[in-house]
């Protein structure tokens, strides 16, 4: 069994009002990333403080936060995120500059989904927005990732997302370095931290993981579990993945609940589960080999 890859998503749309431990500034991102690497993480995912910055405008802040990390840990696997814009270049064009600055992976969400925020009455807020990723954009982004030598970080919100990803793998069109993240929905909205029964996808249960793993029979893609709007450790999903040869994503982008942990604390919790199971934690260099990431230039 391969060593365990622990990915940590440091911030995302989580705010300091929700958890004061969420890093925001580039200096905070750098310090938190280094602490997480020390605790056992091998892959770091970050957002900029203003996640709506488009294309080139977002690039300097990413680089400012990553530079101290790469100076101390040159093999660290860092990657940013897409922009909530409409046009393809506004959403993903900054990936090219970030690849040149040391980014090793790129987010790709191979499908569309409603991501609701609950109202005080408990129903989803009646907004017209859908998190939309057309097959045209998915194909274009696969090509951009391939050309930029970035491993696809495949976010699987719903089973249909996984079908699309597996279709690219079967067709021989999946860029090198792909990493499947199986997202399970907790009891809270990961967008605002409110408790809600309206969310997305499958719950964090053994049966739900079994369903995804049945879909992946015959696939060679490495996979990880994550619980958005909950806790991957206390839900039991981390242990299930560790025992089955999968990997784990943690972090304050995903986490929601009554406590206010830090990112390094969440990483350490998963590392402890791995130690109890007798499975070593991967270094960034080992993670790059497991994922078969293209070599950084």
User: At 70, which CATH number?
Assistant: 3.20.20.70
Each residue's pLDDT tens digit, 58-77: 889 999 999 999 999 999 99
Q: How does residue 20 score in pLDDT terms, banded at 50, 70 and 90?
A: very high
19 part of a folded domain: yes
Considering only the C-alpha atoms of the chain, give the largest distance between any 2 of them, rounded to a whole number of Å: 52
296 lies in a domain?
no
Residues 6+ away with beta carbon under 8 Å from 148: 95, 96, 99, 106
pTM here is 0.94
pLDDT tens digit sequence for 201-230: 899 999 999 999 999 999 999 999 999 999
Q: Count how many Cα atoms sit within 13 Å of the Cα of residue 148 in the half-sphere of its side chain.
A: 26
Alpha-carbon distance 275 to 40, whole Å?
11
What is the span of the domain harbouring residue 243? Answer: 6-291
Domain count within the chain: 1
Burial of residue 46 (CB within 10 Å: 0-12, 13-18, 19+) is buried
Residue 258's pLDDT is what? 86
Residue 200 lies inside a defined structural domain of this protein: yes
Residue-wise pLDDT tens digits, 140-158: 999 999 999 999 999 999 9
DSSP class of 43? E
Residue 1 inside a domain? The answer is no
Does residue 219 sit within a domain? yes
Residues 243-260 have pLDDT tens digits of: 999 999 999 999 988 899
Residue 170 contacts by C-beta under 8 Å, 6 or more apart in sequence? none
């Amino acid at each position: 069994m391969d060593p365990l890859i622990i990915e940590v998503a440091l911030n995302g749309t989580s705010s300091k009002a929700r958890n004061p431990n969420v890093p925001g500034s580039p200096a905070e991102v750098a310090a938190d990333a280094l602490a997480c690497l020390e605790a056992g993480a091998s892959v770091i995912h970050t957002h900029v403080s203003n996640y709506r910055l488009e294309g080139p405008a977002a690039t300097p802040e990413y680089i400012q936060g990553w530079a101290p990390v790469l100076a101390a840990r040159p093999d660290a696997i860092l990657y940013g995120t897409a922009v909530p814009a409409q046009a393809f270049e506004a959403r993903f064009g900054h990936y090219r500059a970030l690849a040149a600055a040391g980014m090793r992976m790129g987010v790709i969400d191979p499908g569309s989904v409603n991501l609701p925020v609950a109202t005080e009455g408990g129903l989803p807020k009646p907004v017209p927005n859908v998190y939309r990723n057309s097959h045209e954009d998915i194909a274009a982004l696969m090509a951009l990732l391939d050309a930029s030598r970035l491993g696809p970080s495949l976010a699987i919100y719903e089973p249909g997302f996984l079908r699309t990803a597996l279709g690219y793998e079967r067709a021989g069109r999946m860029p090198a370095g792909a990493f499947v993240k199986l997202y399970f929905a907790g009891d809270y909205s990961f967008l605002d931290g409110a408790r809600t029964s309206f969310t997305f996808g499958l719950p964090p249960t053994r049966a739900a993981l079994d369903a995804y793993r049945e879909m992946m029979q015959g696939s060679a893609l490495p996979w990880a579990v994550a619980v958005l709007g909950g806790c991957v450790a206390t839900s039991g999903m981390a242990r299930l993945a560790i025992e089955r040869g999968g990997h784990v994503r943690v972090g304050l982008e995903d986490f929601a609940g009554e406590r206010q942990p830090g990112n390094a604390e969440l990483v350490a919790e998963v590392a402890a589960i791995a130690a109890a199971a007798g499975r070593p934690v991967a270094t960034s260099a080992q993670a790059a080999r497991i994922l078969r990431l293209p070599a950084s230039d």
